[in-house]
């Protein structure tokens, strides 16, 4: 374990809070015009899945746990959770649905993911930065809505909703950021 200042904590980090391991779901630094800058951290306790929200001064220290990182391929989802396979020795692990949270919607068959392990047990995963998905439903373009900043809602093949430019229609494959679900560009394939 290493002490780091609160402003350096990022989503996916694992912290030791009072002897309990917690996965960071969201970390946000707030710098008000007056007063002390603070960092708000939303975490989920690994042992029981309880959500914790803590606020720290940005210069306060927190204990960051360093984990073993291995590459696994995503296989499938079942009642127990999400199943992954290590490509070298074909060892399979299952990760509880609560551990992944809203990251699970971006999983695709055979996707390579970095699985963080603590003492041999899976703690969290890191997805690729971008995924390619198909638009299955998009609203028609409204005439006169040609400004570059105008976006319309669309539904992806995984069920997620994303805002896309007006020229993107149903059946188009797009690249989406897994961190926040934002549209990047039309897929080149």
pLDDT band at 59; cut points 50, 70, 90: confident
Is residue 154 within 8 A of residue 138, CB to CB? The reply is: yes
pTM score: 0.68
How many CB atoms are closer than 10 A to CB 174? 20
Give the model confidence (pLDDT) of 123-182 as tens digits.
778 888 899 989 888 887 766 655 556 788 889 888 888 888 888 888 889 999 888 888
The reported pLDDT for the residue numbered 148 is: 55
Using the predicted structure, report yes or no on whether residue 17 has a pLDDT greater than 70: yes
Helix residue ranges per DSSP H, the chain: 97-100
List 126's β-bridge partners, or say none. 114
Are the CB atoms for 133 and 176 separated by under 8 Å?
yes
pLDDT at 145: 57
Q: What is the pLDDT of residues 102-121, one digit of tens each?
A: 788 888 888 999 888 888 88
CA 148 to CA 129: how far, in whole Å?
25
CA dist list (Å): 16 to 8, 49, 79, 100, 158: 15, 14, 29, 19, 34
Q: Residue 88: is its pLDDT beyond 60?
A: yes
Residues of 104-142 as b/e, b for ≥16 C-beta within 10 angstroms?
bebbeeebebebbeeeeebbbbebeeebebebeebeeee
């Amino acid at each position: 374990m290493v002490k780091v200042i609160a402003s350096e904590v990022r989503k996916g980090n694992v912290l030791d809070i009072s002897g309990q391991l917690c996965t960071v779901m969201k970390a946000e630094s707030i710098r008000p015009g007056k007063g002390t800058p603070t960092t708000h951290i939303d975490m989920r306790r690994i042992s029981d899945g309880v959500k914790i929200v803590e606020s720290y001064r940005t210069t306060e220290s927190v204990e960051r746990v360093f984990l073993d990182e291995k590459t696994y391929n995503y296989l499938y989802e079942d009642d127990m959770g999400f199943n992954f396979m290590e490509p070298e020795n074909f060892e399979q692990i299952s990760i509880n649905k609560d551990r992944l949270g809203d990251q699970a919607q971006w999983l695709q068959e055979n996707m390579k993911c970095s699985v963080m392990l603590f003492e041999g047990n899976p703690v969290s995963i890191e997805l690729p930065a971008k995924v390619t998905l198909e638009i299955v439903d998009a609203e028609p373009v409204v005439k006169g809505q040609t400004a570059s900043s105008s976006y319309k809602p669309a539904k992806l093949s995984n069920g997620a909703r994303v805002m896309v430019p007006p020229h993107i229609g149903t059946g188009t494959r797009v690249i989406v950021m897994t961190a926040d679900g934002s549209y990047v560009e039309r897929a080149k394939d």
